Structure 1
Amino acid sequence: MHAGAGADRALGLFINTLPVRLDLDGTGVAASVRTTHARLSELLAHEHASLALAQRCSGVAAPAPLFGALLNYRHNTPAAMTGCGPDDVLAGMEWLGGEERTNYPLTLSVEDYGEALGLTAQVVEPVSADRVCGYMQHVLEQLAEALERAPDRPVRELDILPAAERTYLLEDLNRTAAAYPSQRCIHELFEAQVRQAPEAVAVVHEDERLSYGEL
């Protein structure tokens, strides 16, 4: 943001990433937002610092990563605004597409389109990007509601789980009921398993194992 004279004529992509720590504790949401803003503002003085310098100043010993998640706020010009003027430098060019990549386990971008906001996530499988964006959207809605109605509500009490996701995690994944011959006694079921797979491991205690046949 303060690259100096002539920076607009330099070829390259100038992006730096600095770590920020947020305290999700008993602090009220309004106070937490103000503290977050203050910490981000303080980082502007260090925006030219190298990642190596940030690593040395952090006290986090290598090779441990300084951070494993990126949050980016991107100002996007709507596509409708390009190619509409006679002096447009992109006149006559066709946009074929693009693809983003990241080396971090989680990258979440807030897309500012001027009149609307969007979310873009890149995550390591098996986590779904849609689920991460759903978490973010839900917690932003929770934050906005708390700022308006309960600014002293502890920030750690904000709920990140949408209703459908909560149902999936707590109910759908815990549906472990399975049909079995309930009319038979437990020892009869055990005997049937011995006949079916006598070499299968039945009991493990420290370094000792017993098969169904041995047990």
Structure 2
Amino acid sequence: MNRPNSASLISASIFHALRTATPHKAPFLHWTADNLLPQPTLADFQNLPTCMRDMDYSEGQRATNNKLRQYLHGNSFMKFEAEQEFTSAFQAPQMIELFYEKCGVDLSNTYLRIEYTCDREGFWLEPHTDIGAKKFTLMIYLSEAHGEEWGTSLYSDKETFHSNTPWAPNRAMFFIPSDDTWHGFEKREINAPRKSLIINYVTSEWRARHELAFPEALTERLTIAA
């Protein structure tokens, strides 16, 4: 993982992909971006160690397995150089400015939270909207797809399925949480580990400080409108 100038390459790749992301209006405004990470960095994340404990998928909520969830922080995954560089890119003022310009959302004075997930057969998520403390949600798909598409399920409302976001390794899907951003995961075959990263910017109301990448550092924009 010790690659020359890897931090600048990772940042440049992420910024280019997100700056050129494609907007989609249905069933709610969201964006997709491809080729987010340089291929060596993608491989690093695809090969992160995985929590092999059995998950309880009975309720269709990630919160059911809170004690087993994994985050990029402290001495956990951030002991690896690639993860440190990746996390620093999303904490950078340039990134906060980019999201303001691209999505019209001001994420200054929030905290960065990055979850590493590995879903297996039986996994599903009920339709839900993100809680109010989450100001931004971005998912990066890591694994090669096997069999059916594995992308996030999108809904027109809590009861009405719309579509699954097409899954591809190194694809990002992101949106600004609101009352109409219903999403989840329709149960389908998962015949290999379904790995992804879930990036949130959260407010100071977030109580689980151990989940934050930089629990002592609020984000800042490059420029703040007067």
The TM-score normalised by the length of structure 2 is 0.23
Whose strand fraction is larger, Structure 1's or Structure 2's?
2
Could you say which structure has the greater relative contact order, defined with CA pairs below 8 angstroms and 6 or more residues apart?
2
Structure of higher CA gyration radius: 1
Whose helix fraction is larger, Structure 1's or Structure 2's?
1
